[in-house]
A = this chain, B = another copy of it.
Amino acid sequence: MKLSSKGRYGLKAMCELAKHYGEGALSLPYIAGETLLSEKYLEQLLSVLKKDNLIDATRGASGGYFLKRAPEEISVGEILRSLENGLEIVDCLSGDCKNKSTCQTYGVWSRLYREINKCLDGISLKELVEGE
């Protein structure tokens, strides 16, 4: 049960954006340089974050990406749910499992899912960049 690099990389990028919150947009090459990630791969992650309304972008020369809300109002949970396409650790949590009532293990996944989200929703981007 590993987090994919999408989640890890994307969160790093979000930290970078948070660090410069209020200073205008950061370009893709800049973010890639700071985080040491491939531009083209990172671009795809940023497009997901944008689709989910966590960041926004301006196009054209001197354009770039920026947070859509203040760092203290964005949780790590939101970011990871966006990048990982949900944090459901088993499929039956997303689709509605029709064996829910008889399944002996369903309760485990649902409890764990709740705990994971509670934990991650309790951490804001601001905490990360300010070192708690």
Contact = CB atoms under 8 A, between A and B. Distances in A.
Interface string A68-83: 0000000010001000
A123 B104 contact: no
A11 B108 contact: yes
B119 A115 contact: yes
A84 B112 CA distance: 15
B108 A12 contact: no
B84 A1 contact: yes
Contacts of A119: 111-112, 115
A1 B107 contact: no
A132 interface: yes
Interface stretch (A2-10, A24-32, A55-63): A2-10
Contacts of A88: 2
A18 B22 CA distance: 57
A12 B129 contact: no
A67 interface: no
Q: Give the one of A1, A7, A118, A132 with max B CB within 10 A.
A: A1
Q: Give the one of A112, A123, A131, A132 with max B CB within 10 A.
A: A112
Given A104-B129, A105-B12, A107-B128, A3 B120 contact: no
